[in-house]
Amino acid sequence: MLKLIRKFRDLSSNEKRLFIEAWLTLGFMRGAILTIPFKRLTRSLEQHQNDAELTPLSREKSHLAITTGKIISQAANNTPWQSSCLVQSFTAQRMLEKRNIPGVFYLGVRKDETAEEKMSAHAWSRCGDMIITGDKGREDFTVISTFRWGQ
């Protein structure tokens, strides 16, 4: 616990604000995913069946997107609830759209006959050419849908 407090204390004031916003948004999105139909959650997003092209981001927006992704990951590791990849993708979408940073989040599936769960899913977010959340293991999943926000 002290280690977590020290890590938080070492963040800049901007990163502390982002962390608190991410932690609260993760909780809100976890609750939303459990109670609101997925179709309604994605109503404001533009759905694509293929890989969505994004315009490159400015250096400032790229830095903010990367920082936001790292903070979301840190906050997700410190929630008392499960902050899955889908929760993190929705959180990234909310936080980045608020800052006028466009992006896409992907939903993918993987079939594994040897595992107890024959099918698994994963979600990840991308801004420009950078993966913001859910990078680990995403190559193993086949994209079934993409949801775009911003321009």
Which tens digits make up the pLDDT trace of 51-101?
A: 656 778 999 999 999 999 999 999 999 999 999 999 999 999 999 999 999
pLDDT at 2 over 90: no
10 Å Cβ neighbour count for 93?
27
Q: How far is CA 53 from CA 42, 48, 58, in A?
A: 19, 10, 16
pLDDT at position 19 over 90 = yes
3-state helix, strand, coil in the chain (%, to 5): 45, 20, 30
Q: What's CA 54's distance to the chain center, in Å?
A: 16
The answer to whether 15 and 67 are in contact (CB under 8 A) is yes
pLDDT given for residue 117 in this prediction = 74
- Give the pLDDT of residue 52: 59
User: Given pLDDT bands bounded at 50, 70 and 90, which one contains residue 6?
Assistant: confident
pLDDT-derived band at 22, boundaries 50, 70, 90: very high
At 114 the pLDDT is: 76
Confidence of residue 43 (pLDDT cuts 50, 70, 90): confident
- CB of 26 closer than 8 Å to CB of 88: yes
In this prediction the pTM is 0.89
End-to-end CA distance of the chain: 41
